[in-house]
Amino acid sequence: MTRSIIVLDTTLRDGEQVPGAKMNVHQKIEFAQQLKRLNVDIIEAGFPASSAGDFESVREIARTVGDSVSITALARAVKSDIDAVYESIKPAQNPLIHIVLGTSNIHVEKKFNRSKDAVLQMGVDAVKYAKTLLPQVQYSTEDASRSDFEYLWTTIEAVVKAGATMINIPDTVGYAVPEEFGELIRRINERLKNLNDQVILSVHCHNDLGLATANTLAAVKNGAEKVECTINGLGERAGNTSLEEVVMGLKVRENYFNASTNIRTKELIKTSRLLTYLTGLDVQVNKAITGENAFAHSSGIHQDGLLKDKQVYEIMSPEEVGADSMELILTARSGRHAFRNAVEKLGFDAGEGEEFEALFAKFLQLADAKKEVYDHDVFYLVTHHRTYED
Ligand code: KIV
Ligand code: ZN
């Protein structure tokens, strides 16, 4: 039977930590609304103890978006952080507290300068405290892939007994390789299922060696039930696991993984372009799934093969990820009719009378400045116009 994999998007927490990726509260809400359209299961909205602004953004996201999607936020294993998470996510229907604490020797000795037992106790106390506030608590064993396995397991066992409902295994510094990471997940999963088969096993990978997607897929193959990702792989250093790559990897190779997600894949390109627009951080042109060239075939041999049958050189169709293969490029001379068509093709109501004219005037300004206006520009234009003018 196909397993359903839970997708947590952490673009607004791990992704937003990147220099230059800062978004204001309106932009975060706009992005969270798009994550909801994409149908992610959980949005990690921020790190509320880090600043008053972050606290406010998490609370607004929980309030405005947290009706059908679960909302979480990050806390270190200290009461004040856990309180900040609780206070900010509590307006959501299904709030989840996320606690992180290191398990590798280097974290225990250098970061905390305490004994292993004392660090483990901090984790247990944090989970027990979080459970007095909410039923759903995720525990992340930071730097798990560089941790001593028996200490890692002792920690997991103790925090599960203290009430953790999700265990997240991070490859914090992108050190793992797929076979080894898959094996780590297999071993943890085997013990965890014996201890408490209701606890969800999750993974969170970083891309320092370009292996985040491969490690995440290896983990799914070996029993992981939840994946943590960001759009465009945005994240510290070389980034996090790219959501679009994992989701399409599972979709295209569903028979191999026996697993699927609830993601509406047709929303992937829009979500990627919206993030680029909001942060100003471009996606490399040859990036899998969302790069400008991801579906472009330029060699004569490939074009000839595609004309005979698309499947000759295509493992997924551009339409499946929302990349319209027949994109019409608009200019300032395209006129109202063509603009209305482009807006409606994206699924928006273009409106009538003054409402349409205001939108069209914005389009003309953009077309004058940019010369060529693509579908993704029209998408930002409409969503942005509606977010700020309403
Ligand atoms: O990379 C990491 O270890 C994290 C944890 C908070 C999950 O981001
Ligand atoms: Zn991370």
pLDDT at 310: 75
100 pocket-lining for ligand 1 (C-beta < 6 Å): yes
Which residue among 8, 74, 228 is best mutated to probe the pocket of ligand 1, counting the most ligand atoms within 8 A of its Cβ? 74
Nearest CA to ligand 1 atom 4: 172
> Is any atom of ligand 1 closer than 6 Å to the C-beta of 202?
no
Distance 125 CA to ligand 1 centre (A): 20
Is-contact 36 52, C-beta < 8 A? no
Query: Which ligand 1 atom is at minimum distance from the Cα of 228?
Result: 7
206 annotated binding-site participant:
yes
Q: Please say whether the beta carbons of 187 and 194 come within 8 A.
A: no
* 56 touches 28 (CB < 8 A): no
> Is there a binding annotation on residue 258?
no
Name 155's Cβ contacts closer than 8 Å, sequence gap at least 6: 103, 120, 123, 141
Distance 251 CA to ligand 2 centre (A): 24
Structure pTM?
0.86
The response to whether 14 counts as a known ligand-binding position is yes
Query: Is 282 assigned a ligand-binding role in the annotation?
Result: no
Best probe residue, ligand 1, of 9, 11, 12, 14 (max atoms within 8 Å of C-beta): 14
Ligand that lies nearest to the alpha carbon of residue 140, given by its number in the listed order: 1
Tell me, using a 6 A CB cutoff, whether residue 72 lines ligand 1.
no
Radius of gyration of the chain (CA): 22
Predicted pLDDT of residue 298 = 54
Does the Cβ of 169 fall within 6 Å of ligand 1? no
* Exposure class string for 149-172: b at 16+ Cβ within 10 A, else e: eebbbebbbbbbebbbbbbbbbbb
- Cα-based distances in Å from 195 to 151, 156, 387: 16, 10, 47
Q: How confident is the model at residue 326, as a pLDDT?
A: 45
pLDDT of residue 82: 99
What dihedral angle (degrees, nearest 10) is formed by the CA atoms of 29, 268, 75, 123?
160
- Which atom in ligand 1 lies closest to the alpha carbon of residue 204? 7
Structure-block tokens of residue 65 = 């978006």
User: Residue 338 has what pLDDT?
Assistant: 86
142 in contact with ligand 1, CB cutoff 6 A: yes
Question: Which pLDDT belongs to residue 104?
Answer: 97
Q: Which atom of ligand 1 is nearest to the CA of 236?
A: 1
For residue 14 and ligand 1, the question of a CB distance below 6 A is answered with yes
Residue 341's Cα: distance from chain center in Å? 31
- Tokens 């984790």, residue? 123
Interstrand relation of 200-205 and 226-229 (parallel, antiparallel or unpaired): parallel
Retrieve residue 119's tokens. Answer: 């660090």
Instruction: Tell me the best of 50, 140, 175 to mutate to test the pocket of ligand 1, counting ligand atoms within 8 Å of each CB and taking the most.
Output: 140
Q: What is the pLDDT along the chain (390 residues), one digit of tens a residue?
A: 899 999 999 999 999 989 888 899 999 999 999 999 999 999 999 999 999 999 999 999 999 999 999 999 999 999 999 999 999 999 999 999 999 999 999 999 989 999 999 999 999 999 999 999 999 999 999 999 999 999 999 999 999 999 999 999 999 999 999 999 999 999 999 999 999 999 999 999 999 999 999 999 999 999 999 999 999 999 999 999 999 999 999 999 999 999 999 999 999 999 999 999 899 899 999 999 999 888 876 555 655 666 677 777 789 999 999 986 445 678 888 889 889 988 987 778 899 999 999 999 999 999 999 888 887 789 889 988 776 665
The ipTM, to two decimals, is 0.99
pLDDT score at 254: 98
